[in-house]
Amino acid sequence: MRVKQMTLEPLELTGTSVSPEPGLQPHYRRVVIKISGEALVGDGQFGIDPDVLDIVARELQGAHALGTEIAVMVGGGNIFRGLAGAQRGMNRVTADLMGMLGTVINALALRDALEAHGMPTRVLTAIEMHQVAEPYIRGRAIRHLEKGRVVVFCAGSGNPFFTTDTPAALRAAEIGADLLIKATRVDGIYSADPEVDPNANRLPNLTYLEVLNLRLQVMDNTAITLCMDNRLPLLVLDLFTAGNLARAVSGEHVGSLVSDQAPPS
CATH number of domain containing 34: 3.40.1160.10
Closest residue by Cα to residue 163 from 103, 243, 249: 103
Residue 89 three-state SS: coil
Give pLDDT, residue 17: 43
The pLDDT of residue 23 is above 70: no
Whether 105 contacts 76, CB under 8 Å? yes
Q: Is residue 234 part of a domain?
A: no
Highest mean pLDDT, choosing among 75-84, 88-97, 117-126, 199-208: 117-126
pLDDT level of residue 221 (50, 70, 90 thresholds): very high
Query: What does the pLDDT look like over 157-198, one tens digit per residue?
Result: 999 999 999 999 999 999 999 999 999 888 899 887 766 777
* Domain-embedded: residue 85: yes
Task: In whole angstroms, give the CA distance from residue 235 to residue 214.
Answer: 17
Residue 64 sits at φ, ψ, to 5 deg, of: -65, -35
**Domains: count for the chain:** 1
For residue 257, with 0-12 CB atoms within 10 Å meaning exposed, 13-18 middle and 19 or more buried, which class applies?
buried
Answer yes or no: is 228 within a domain. no
Residue 10 is assigned to a structural domain of this protein: no
Decide if 199 is inside a domain. yes
| Pair 203, 188: CB distance under 8 Å | yes
Tens digits of per-residue pLDDT, 109-133? 999 999 999 999 999 999 999 999 9
Determine the distance from the C-alpha atom of residue 263 to the mean position of all C-alpha atoms in its chain, rounded to a whole number.
23
Residue 48 lies in a domain: yes
In a domain, 8, yes or no: no
Strands 30-35 and 134-135: unpaired
Contact call for residues 139 and 151 (beta carbons, < 8 A): no
Contact predicate 155/101, CB 8 Å: yes
pTM: 0.88
Domain membership flag for residue 16: no
Q: Per-residue pLDDT averaged across 88-116, rounded?
A: 94
Residue 83's SS3 state is helix
Expressed as residue numbers, the domain containing 122 is: 24-178+192-216+240-259
